[in-house]
Structure 1
Amino acid sequence: MTIDVKVYGPGCKRCDTTAQMVADAAAKLGAEVSVEKVTDYAAIAMAGVVSTPGISINGKLVHAGGLPDDAALEGWLSDAR
């Protein structure tokens, strides 16, 4: 099963880094992920993200504001399997 991950943000360096962190954590876990960057401000607001970057996994917002913790990211992806 592919895990659907969305990274919300305006396309800044932190957002790019967050997307790469998701890909790296998925590779470490051997999980298949689909990572989509969402840069549309209306879509970001509708997702409930008030501080970027934000991350949703399979439609559930799990993080907003700053870079995520590696261990937490791996936990979120493991839980989504």
Structure 2
Amino acid sequence: MVIKVLGSGCLKCNKLEEAARKAVEELGIDAKIEKVQDFKDIMAYGVMQTPALVVNEQVKVMGKVPSVEEIKKLLK
């Protein structure tokens, strides 16, 4: 599984990355977490608001920081 956190590196983007890492750890799944900060790459996903969470090339969340529990539901 590949999880991407799209964003400029702002506070919310960092919180989303932390929450995604914690969700992966709690679920015990094998996942690679990547940060995407280049706006051209972010726009390629059709994302207009960051932070955004992409799981296996599908945008799951945009413009907010979901809780660890919400992320866990998205990853199952």
With normalisation by structure 1, the TM-score equals: 0.88
Aligned to 1:48: 46
Over the matched positions of the two proteins, sequence identity in percent amounts to: 29
Residues 23 and 33 in structure 1, CA contact (< 8 A), matched pair in contact too: no
Residues 19 and 67 in structure 2, CA contact (< 8 A), matched pair in contact too: no
Aligned length: 76
* Range that drifts further, 3-12 or 61-70: 61-70
Structure 2 regions of 5+ residues with no counterpart? none
With normalisation by structure 2, the TM-score equals: 0.93
2:9 maps to 1:11 = yes
Q: Deviations over 1:30-54 (max 9, x none)?
A: 1111111000011111111111000
What is the alpha-carbon distance in structure 2 between the residues aligned to residue 24 and residue 52 of structure 1?
20
2:22 maps to 1:57 = no
What is the alpha-carbon distance in structure 2 between the residues aligned to residue 70 and residue 25 of structure 1?
5
Q: CA deviation at 1:25?
A: 0.5
What is the alpha-carbon distance in structure 1 between the residues aligned to residue 66 and residue 73 of structure 2?
11
Q: CA deviation at 1:68?
A: 1.2
What is the alpha-carbon distance in structure 1 between the residues aligned to residue 57 and residue 45 of structure 2?
9
